[in-house]
Amino acid sequence: MGKPTGFLEYDRQDDQAVEPLKRIKNYNEFHVPMGEKERKKQAARCMDCGVPFCQSGMTIGGMTSGCPLNNLVPEWNDMLYRGNLEKAVQLLRLTNNFPEFTSRVCPALCEEACTCGMNDTPVASKANEHAIIEYGYANGLMEANPPKVRTGKRVAVVGSGPAGLAAADQLNRRGHDVTVYERSDHIGGLLMYGIPNMKLEKWVIDRKQKIMEEEGVHFACNADVGRNVKAEDLLKEYDSVILACGASQPRDIKAPGREAEGIYFAVDYLTRSTKHVLTGKKEGWIDAKGKHVVVIGGGDTGNDCVGTAVRQGAKSVVQVEMMPKLPDERAENNPWPEWPRVCKTDYGQEEAIAVYGKDPRIYQATVKEFISDKSGKIKKVRLVKLEPKRDEKTGRMNMAEIPGSEFEIPADYVLIAAGFLGTQDYVAKAFKVKLNERTNVATQGNSFKTSVEKVFAAGDMRRGQSLVVWGINEGRQVAREVDQALMGYTNLD
């Protein structure tokens, strides 16, 4: 695929990022697409490697290696190299309902499993994917294509994140009448309000919504199933119901002083920030300008909080991580094509370094106490250093407190980005579906069927907190199963 000697002739180049001190002046996406000639060179680096791990989606060492959607990465890289962009768009859309989302927010599992990356730098497949799908939109290749025949079957999808949207898109293509119920004022789930504008501008979601509506998908926003929409009504009105509400129960931090004013869950902070960016309204906005901000959690959401706080003009930003700093390069026990467990300095951290002159991260520490002032507002966080220790009973390594290592840092706002525990259970209770020990909706074996007849579950609500690509994967799979149940057979991919 591509040019057989391309990986030897051309170095990897990515879309150039606007420098940190310039891009923090707004909330816009900040990568500048390269020209057509250079883009072809990047596509030419895709090797005829024989076994393309980039599209495998395998689990190796407990982590995903390659794309869970089994995207035809070598094939569309080849078409991009040869200048056949129309075919590239067609190949890209065969396996991925939303390349416009994944090419912006996916951590690029395909690149980390790229054969070229075993001894050199991987092919820039994520940026290539972005170039292909945006070419499709710019050249009339993404126009609505409603199904010619309708089946008469009705499906309700509860939740409009990646899983729900993918399921709706697939089932609508099949000819079923699909309605998506979203409790928020806009579709997208965490794509809309959990991912900041600088990673995914919201017009991208609006653009796709418009096409899906033209193709026949119905969207009902401000429709909170289990509260202002009754589950029993959906069960009566629809032939099947898909629950795709995500794993939106945030993990809290149980430490003395937790009740202090100024402590927020990261998702609430990001939601309010995005609403302010979109509307300009200050109602409910959490403005970090001139404030000391402490972010608890080292993942993507924590980094998004850092980048948002920097843009708001925070006086300082500190990000607290429990675990030790990962190595800068792969360790011997983490060989390719496993997902690389290496230290990543993401955009938010880059921006904090540029503004404050140092990396915002404090490793191997956790909250010992939240300290408030006389009015009850947070003013400091007492942290304690941690060290890895092996549990004598289980043999597992745990992070243990180091006695006498406590220290304090100033905090006007604390943002808890410690991950999610599972689904918010009021929807599950409304439909009377069983939950598993992880508080996700329980399904039957490898099926997407719940304990209630004609009710299915998919995405983070079924598998727990995960990636956008896994959500799309689950949405496509549950659509197949629902179609099979409704029609007795399925021709969905």
Percent over 70 (pLDDT), the chain:
100
* pLDDT over 70 (residue 38): yes
pLDDT digits (tens, 9 = 90+) for 292-327: 999 999 999 999 999 999 999 999 999 999 999 999
pLDDT tens by residue, 340-361: 999 999 999 999 999 999 999 9
- pLDDT tens for each residue of 50-100: 889 999 999 998 899 999 999 999 999 999 999 999 999 999 999 999 999
Residue 395: band (very low, low, confident or very high) from pLDDT cuts 50, 70, 90: confident
* Rounded Cα–Cα distance for residues 435 and 428 (Å): 8
pLDDT for position 422: 87
Q: In whole angstroms, give the CA distance from residue 351 to residue 21.
A: 7
Q: What is this structure's pTM?
A: 0.96
Averaged pLDDT, 200-227: 98
The Cα–Cα gap between 308 and 287 comes to 10
pLDDT, mean of residues 264-269: 97
pLDDT of residue 481: 98
Output the average pLDDT for the chain.
96
Give pLDDT, residue 4: 86
154-248+421-487 has the same fold as 6-138: no
Over the stretch 97-123, which tens digit does the pLDDT of each residue have?
999 999 999 999 999 999 999 989 999
Q: Which residue has the higher pLDDT, 61 or 371?
A: 371
Mean pLDDT across 5-14: 94
What beta strand segments (E) does 244-291 contain?
A: 249-250, 263-265
Instruction: Tell me what the mean pLDDT of segment 445-460 comes to.
Output: 96
| Pairwise CA distance, residues 270 & 415, whole Å | 10
Given CATH 3.20.20.70, say whether it is the number of domain 6-138: no
The continuous run of DSSP H or E covering 388 comes out as: strand 378-390
Mean of pLDDT values over 420-439:
93
Question: What is residue 375's three-state secondary structure?
Answer: coil
**Nearest to 8, CA basis, from 86, 120, 109:** 120
First to last CA, the chain: 24
The number of residues in the chain equals: 493
CATH class assigned to 154-248+421-487: alpha beta
Q: Above 80 in pLDDT, residue 447?
A: yes
- pLDDT of 156-174, one tens digit each? 999 999 999 999 999 999 9
Whether 2 has a pLDDT exceeding 80, the answer reads no
CA 484 to chain centre: 29
Residue 1 clears pLDDT 80, i.e. is over it: no
CATH superfamily, domain at 252-418? FAD/NAD(P)-binding domain (3.50.50.60)
* Domain residue spans of the chain: 6-138, 154-248+421-487, 252-418
